[in-house]
Amino acid sequence: MLEKDLKAAWAIYLNIDQKFCLMKRKGSRFERELIEELWENGFAAVRVAGSGASHFPCPDIVAGDGSAFFAFEVKMRKNLPLYLSSEEIKKLQEFSKAFGASGYIALKLPREKWRFFRIEDLKKTPKGFRIDEDVYAMGKDFHDLKGIIQTRLPYHDQKGFYGSRNE
């Protein structure tokens, strides 16, 4: 049997379409590249399993370096602007708050290095958020992330604390 036929049959069996699979694979490849670069830059980083499927809010990547913790939603685009739904930003915020991480959008454009964007720096649109040229110009790089010192409140104060937690 041809490999192609087998793949197609398997996709039908799983009730998913191949285009979706291809998108997922491509997304995973970029996520793995970011994981590599995070480790190279001194962060321990993991890809989250089933980040699109879980009924709990969860990001694509979680990383930490012992002093700061990050939750990344990973995006790759051919060009700007990048549009983000209110829903996905809300989930990233919810997870970040519950975990104790800073939520960031990680964006890869062709022939550009990874750039990282805080939720506060995104531009609001009627249906969600946008990263345009202006926002992109303010994106952080790995060096900026390493400089972030996450301040932490004493335990009991922190439990009731729901503001922005770092930077």
Catalytic residues: 51
Which residue lies nearer to a copy of itself by CB, 101 or 135?
101
Concatenating the DSSP letter of every residue in 60-117 gives: SEEEE-SS-EEEEEEEE-SSSPEEEEHHHHHHHHHHHHHHT-EEEEEEE-TTS--EEE
Q: What CA dihedral angle connects 80, 85, 89 and 90, to 10 degrees?
A: 170
Look at strands 102-108 and 69-76 and give their pairing: parallel
**Residue span binding a copy of itself (CB under 8 A) among the ranges 65-73, 82-90, 103-111, 120-128:** 65-73
**Residue span binding a copy of itself (CB under 8 A) among the ranges 17-25, 48-56, 79-87, 115-123:** 48-56
Residue 106 within binding range of a copy of itself, rule CB under 8 A? no
Residue 20 within binding range of a copy of itself, rule CB under 8 A? no
Residue linked to tokens 């930490």: 64
Residue 49 within binding range of a copy of itself, rule CB under 8 A? yes
**Residue span binding a copy of itself (CB under 8 A) among the ranges 81-89, 95-103, 114-122, 126-134:** 95-103
Residue 69 within binding range of a copy of itself, rule CB under 8 A? yes
Residue 53 within binding range of a copy of itself, rule CB under 8 A? no
5-42 as b/e: b if 16+ CB within 10 A: eeeeeeeeeeeeeeeeeeeeeebeebbeebbeebeebe
CB of 151 to a copy of itself, least distance (A): 10
| Neighbouring-strand partners of residue 82 | 131
Applying CB under 8 A, the residues found at the interface with a copy of itself are: 1, 3, 6, 9-10, 13, 28, 35, 39, 43-51, 54, 56-59, 62-67, 69, 95, 97-101, 149, 152, 155, 158-159, 161, 165
